[in-house]
Amino acid sequence: METSTNILVAGAGAAGLSVALALADAGHGVTIVGPPDLGGAARTVALFDGSVRFLDSLGVWSHVADRSAPLRVMRIIDDTKSLFAAQPAEFHSSEIGLETFGWNIENAILVAALLEAARAHPRVRLIEDVVESYCLNADATSVETRAHGAIKARLVVAADGRRSGARRAARIAARTWEYPQTAITAIFAHRKPHGDVSTEFHTRQGPCTFVPLQGTAEHPHRSSLVWMMAPREAERRHGMAAEDFAREAESAAHHLLGRLTLLSARGKVPMAGLAAKSLTGQRLALVGEAGHVFPPIGAQGLNLGLRDCAHLAEAVASGGDDPGAADVLATYERLRRADVATRAVGVDALNRALLTNFMPMDFLRGAGLFALQNIGPLRRFAMREGVLPGAGAPRVMRQRTADTVST
């Protein structure tokens, strides 16, 4: 049996559901194909101010705001033991006119809210199936699903992750690389309040970051952990007893949060990078990790993916009746290229700078952090750019809606 849709979105994670809702709000019929992706163990996402505005425009943020924690201060502590280690640095959202840099939320809560919105949207159809093959050409496209047969579409949006079948079917080349690191993720309760401060310890094996989470009645003080380390250390710590792992995490945090209690299973993710040569193909657009992957430094991953979603919706809305037309996709490619390339290069450079003990590199890294601490205009520029590109950001992320929810 063959059916048709205006736009087909492959993938039902946060990026796929978000782009589907945005395109449906623009007036298009959208079919999402994929099992809901609630994320791995202890996975949380820090959503910057622009991403919150985008989710608010989709009618989703009001349903999750009270289960997210504000990020008002970003603290960086150089724990590399380098001769040129900088003093701890703090960056306050108020300095750039924001109540918060963003909000940290458990991925499963966010995806569940997006799923509810998708199921309720009159122009969205959700099929919990798997796309097995793609037929992409300039005139039309179709996908073959495992249980629902063929589906024709005028545009396919690939939100199917770093191993994207759509990207491979379109023969879009992707450069990939690996890092000598694995990230351990976890959620902790702790004795001391976090004070809305996200603390990133820079170590020789990579960043170790404690990000505030909303407390519960049982555990009023909670934080999520993303701890990047050498693979052998990750294997050891992943297999440790919960109490022993908590004590090591406590030590890594220099006891800033007091005694830690592990609340979740531990995630373990090998670190790698990916950059697609193009974000578009014939009647195909890549969003999120289908187009770019890099380490979880500076909370850039999903925020960058949501900017993909917002820009694609913007390009489609301004491109006429055919969402998969060549000029629409060319506009999307143009809107996204600089942002994606800049973030990928910046995150990669910072991560590699931590992994080397080459003295000139240590000096440059320390000098850079010193400059950010002490040169006000540079510090404010870096904070603004970290949250949202100053040039070329999606319109919906630059415009605060009247009913944006904050707590």
The residues near 218 (Cβ < 8 Å, ≥ 6 apart) are none
Q: What is the DSSP string of 266-303?
A: PEEEEEEEEEES-SEETTEEE-GGGTEE--SSTT-HHH
Q: pLDDT digit string (tens) for 386-399?
A: 888 877 899 999 85
The torsion angles phi and psi of 259, rounded to 5 degrees, stand at -70, 135
189 inside domain: no
User: What percent of the chain lies above the pLDDT cut of 70?
Assistant: 95
- Averaged pLDDT, 247-260: 97
Q: Is the pLDDT of residue 367 over 80?
A: no
> Sheet holding 284-286: strands in order across?
124-127, 30-36, 7-12, 155-158, 284-286, 280-281
Q: pLDDT digit string (tens) for 205-248?
A: 999 999 999 999 999 999 999 999 999 999 999 999 999 999 99
Q: What is the pLDDT of residue 358?
A: 61
Question: Regarding predicted confidence, which is higher, 174 or 363?
Answer: 174
Q: pLDDT digit string (tens) for 327-354?
A: 999 999 999 999 999 888 888 887 777 7
E strand residue ranges, 191-221: 197-203, 206-213
As given in the structure block, the two tokens for residue 243 are 């109490």
The C-alpha atoms of residue 82 and residue 242 are separated, in whole angstroms, by 31
- Averaged pLDDT, 99-107: 94
The residues near 375 (Cβ < 8 Å, ≥ 6 apart) are none
- Averaged pLDDT, 302-306: 94
Q: Is the pLDDT of residue 77 over 80?
A: yes
The C-alpha atoms of residue 88 and residue 212 are separated, in whole angstroms, by 18
Helix crossing, 14-25 with 49-57: angle to 10°?
50
Q: What is the pLDDT of residue 383?
A: 85
Q: What is the pLDDT of residue 346?
A: 83
Q: What is the pLDDT of residue 406?
A: 40
Question: Regarding predicted confidence, which is higher, 26 or 385?
Answer: 26
Residue 404 pLDDT level (bands cut at 50, 70, 90): very low
Q: Is the pLDDT of residue 189 over 90?
A: yes
94 inside domain: yes
Q: Which of 112-121, 248-257, 299-308, 371-380 has the lowest mean pLDDT?
A: 371-380
Q: What amino acid is encoded at 139 in this protein?
A: D
319 inside domain: yes
- Look at the pTM and tell me if it is higher than 0.75: yes
Residue 359 pLDDT level (bands cut at 50, 70, 90): low
Q: Is the pLDDT of residue 165 over 90?
A: yes
262 inside domain: no
The C-alpha atoms of residue 331 and residue 334 are separated, in whole angstroms, by 5
204 inside domain: no
Q: What amino acid is encoded at 402 in this protein?
A: A
Q: Which of 57-71, 112-126, 132-146 has the lowest mean pLDDT?
A: 132-146
Q: Is the pLDDT of residue 282 over 70?
A: yes
Return the CATH number at 382.
3.50.50.60
Residue 1 pLDDT level (bands cut at 50, 70, 90): low
Rg (CA), the chain: 21
Q: What is the pLDDT of residue 401?
A: 36
User: What percent of the chain lies above the pLDDT cut of 90?
Assistant: 74
The C-alpha atoms of residue 130 and residue 147 are separated, in whole angstroms, by 8
Q: Residue 303 sits in which domain range? A: 2-176+271-398
Residue 41 pLDDT level (bands cut at 50, 70, 90): low
For residue 86, the Cα-to-chain-centroid distance in whole angstroms is: 28
CA distances from 126 to 59, 154, 304 (A): 18, 17, 24
372 inside domain: yes
Which long-range contacts does 232-236 make (Cβ < 8 Å, 24+ apart)? 233/205, 234/182, 234/183, 234/184, 234/268, 235/182
The C-alpha atoms of residue 126 and residue 119 are separated, in whole angstroms, by 7
Q: List the beta bridge partners of residue 262.
A: 188
181 inside domain: no
Residue 405 pLDDT level (bands cut at 50, 70, 90): very low
For 269-291, b/e burial (b = at least 16 CB within 10 A) is bebebbbbebbbbebbbbbbbbb
Q: What is the pLDDT of residue 40?
A: 64
Mean pLDDT of all residues in the chain? 91
Q: What is the pLDDT of residue 120?
A: 97
CA distances from 207 to 67, 80, 114, 228 (A): 26, 10, 30, 6
Q: Provide the domain count of the chain.
A: 1
214 inside domain: no
Q: Which of 250, 248, 237, 244 is nearest to 191 (CA)?
A: 250
